[in-house]
Chains A and B, each alone.
Chain A
């Protein structure tokens, strides 16, 4: 008899070949369909810069940039992103040189424990690219999917506004 459980058991044996470009480097390996993009990065590729705060799309710690857009990697199955370009926090600095936002985070002390930080930075880069947020209150609103339990909120927004201003002047 084909039950839900036996079907699932079969499904669990299933592996697919997955290829994507991560931080500019092509990566392929076989992975089961039930692996989230977040766990794929952290547990399978050892890219642990992307953080898991809830695994339920509630905190933003797992934000990565996928084909230019910010997404929550915990709500994404890895196999959904076949062929995609993913940028994680490990790929934001170029040749050891920090992205202006990373530098602004350090200058403004925009983190304490640092656990929400990769998500905040990736999310802010994605948000700036969206081009919707102009004012401080718009930035606050559009960054509100990224929680910070340490309470670094004002410093985080200061850091983003600094870089946003620079970007606007270009």
Chain B
């Protein structure tokens, strides 16, 4: 192991300490290898060919020119592909929405622009890329529709299905919304328009498939779920589950794009099996726009309140895009009633199927969309009522979740409001729009609330004490940059009373203990709980073993009568009685002691509670009065997300969410030309995300929040909550600065002129 930075390894407990990432050395020296960086012998390179039409049929594919190029091995397309699983459910993955999953090369039908229609394989990347341009495809075209705004009249209810259990439909209506809204003395309404967004992780999607012979494959894949991809490959290609091993040691960002197996995996595996060779397929940046995306969504809100600011009526409706083949849904309209206890509600969520690829969860899916509408409508209400926006939130503070009539397992949102406001200096805000300035810049303050459900999925972990008396823990889970390795090591070290250097956590391999896909902010709660469970089982085994030793002083000890600390098991009643892990292993004939365990959410207990992380964001913007240019000069996000295992990596998650908020509100958007049914800015020069010069003062507060219900660890996850509140807070700050309420994201300077 190369020299790691000196960390205070002895401090106890490790959980709660700001420990630097354990894989830091590998990442700053270039030693970390991502899925496209395993340069195995005799590697072939595949290059995907995409359809240039939006809808229709392929009449012919002429590959002769391409195949005449030296170094070209073959071109796979629907006409010559090997026979594949025919049943569409075999293409379904753990994250597949209701419908029929897209099957690459199924037939000559083109369902969307940029659809992968062929794979050219050559002996070098350069040859593959060049020869792919020589493949001539002739199509017949059909009429298509890709425009959500122009097709809103076709909106219909989404189909139900298994995969929707994490995404509940809108809550049932309460009271009589129309009547209450009509009667409300104060009203605010809005129409909110969000465009398409693409995840664009920095790393391109790549799969390197190593052909081991006899239908056995080792696959280095960029994914958020090694087991999910293993399942997919085995099902689609009819392989034994055990013969498919999917490894993702490092993942160069994903943000949801790796939740489903992407088509480079399919192509790399297909070519490897057919050619019996090692094959790498890498998508280029343009092709990163040819699979899942955040769907464009149009929302309508109508909120009514009494003269003293009590919200009495809440209506939130959304219409979102999906593909023709799957009903992708998000939780967009379920949040308002979780935050504000109105007596009369009406929520609707509908879909418009269009000729596009299926949308896909992208960081804070649904939440970042819906909360913009909710929190900007609340802001509008505050101005109408002439009540401070923060005060309005406090007047309507939900002590319990009225939408399901359940208490929260914990909720420290009030602390977020108060500590965030204090840190930001919210009291310096002058209430009138356009009343604050800095030279020729208009200054605006805005705030908003965030919420994200705290979920837990079943997961396994394996733990063992090695012959050296050290701890090894493993799980198939990935680390997409969230800090999984570090936090799991912290949890395990504390459980077993070991210093961090005695713990090794291995991950990112489908051969390891089962883990669900990594997303939805549920990894720490799911896998972390499994790690804890495995360590607990290991402790019992250690005690059991100790009891069998000759003259064992532990014979009468129960598990709660010993502690595990300083590499030992110690009797609580008599601390001079102890046994070290190495002595236990010696007594076990120098064999490792091992335990593999499942952690399941305690469904019956959890059913009685709503569980959510909360946040409050406060934002200052400066808007150039003449040019309309917008700058987020500072922002504070205060977060209540239960126990924070590692404040350093958790803070980075929130900072990342805040940068994404600036991006969402002011920068990023995939622009379509609906005459061609095609995205027009499929590169990261024209798909804008913030650069260093756009990012200024960002501050994060974690408020204390104890939760003994949500899971064993008391954690709620921090991956999404940083993006929940701030986009709306930016829009609200722009209103405060300029007096203009812009409800379309991203907000551009020309909308302010």
Contacts and interface: CB of A to CB of B under 8 A. Distances in A.
Interface of A: 8-9, 12-13, 32, 34-35, 39, 42-43, 46-56, 58-59, 61, 88-90, 92-93, 96-98, 102-103, 105-107, 109, 111-118, 121, 137, 139-141, 143-157
A67 to B, nearest CB: 20
Interface of B: 2-3, 5, 20-21, 23-34, 36-37, 39, 69-71, 124-127, 130, 200-204, 250-255, 284-285, 480-483, 648-649, 651-653, 655-660, 683-685, 689-693, 695, 698
Contacts of A146: 692
Given A12-B70, A39-B126, A48-B37, A117 B27 contact: yes
Ranked nearest first, the 9 interchain pairs of A and B with the lowest CB-CB distance are A49-B30, A151-B659, A113-B481, A115-B252, A114-B27, A112-B481, A151-B656, A89-B30, A48-B37
Given A34-B126, A39-B125, A140 B692 contact: yes
B204 A52 contact: yes
Contacts of B124: 32, 43
10 contacts: A9-B69, A43-B39, A48-B39, A59-B684, A92-B29, A97-B3, A103-B5, A113-B480, A151-B660, A153-B690
A59 B202 contact: yes
A48 B109 CA distance: 38
A51 B20 contact: no
Contact of A115 (B202, B655, B695): B202
Given A32-B126, A52-B204, A114-B250, A58 B652 contact: no
Given A140-B692, A153-B690, A109 B480 contact: no
A123 to B, nearest CB: 10
A147 B689 contact: yes
Given A50-B30, A109-B651, A113-B481, A156 B202 contact: no
Given A106-B25, A141-B692, 9 more contacts: A50-B30, A53-B203, A54-B684, A56-B685, A92-B29, A102-B28, A106-B5, A144-B691, A156-B692
A3 to B, nearest CB: 12
Contacts of A12: 69-71, 127, 130
B252 A93 contact: no
The winner among A88, A112, A147, A151 for most chain B CB atoms within 10 A is: A151
A96 B3 contact: yes
B401 to A, nearest CB: 30
Dominant secondary structure of chain B at its interface with chain A: loop
Contacts, number: 187
A153 B252 contact: no
A114 B698 CA distance: 21
Nearest to B43: A43
A145 to B, nearest CB: 8
Contact of B126 (A35, A59, A111): A35
B642 to A, nearest CB: 21
A87 to B, nearest CB: 11
Contact of B251 (A49, A55, A113, A155): A113
B655 A58 contact: no
A92 B220 CA distance: 27
Contacts of B651: 109
Contacts of A8: 130
A157 B692 contact: yes
B264 to A, nearest CB: 14
Contacts of A42: 37
B30 A113 contact: no
Contacts of B31: 49, 90
Contacts of B71: 12
Nearest to B282: A52
B341 to A, nearest CB: 34
A157 B698 CA distance: 12
A51 B202 contact: yes
Given A42-B37, A51-B252, A115 B29 contact: no
Contacts of B285: 53-56, 58
Nearest to A92: B29
Contacts of B656: 112, 150-152
A154 to B, nearest CB: 5
Contacts of A56: 285, 683, 685
Given A114-B252, A147-B684, A153 B695 contact: yes
Contact of A140 (B34, B126, B695): B695
B201 A115 contact: yes
A34 B133 CA distance: 15
B383 to A, nearest CB: 31
B23 A114 contact: yes
Contact of B683 (A13, A39, A54, A114): A54
B255 A149 contact: yes
Given A112-B253, A113-B253, A140-B695, A51 B203 contact: yes
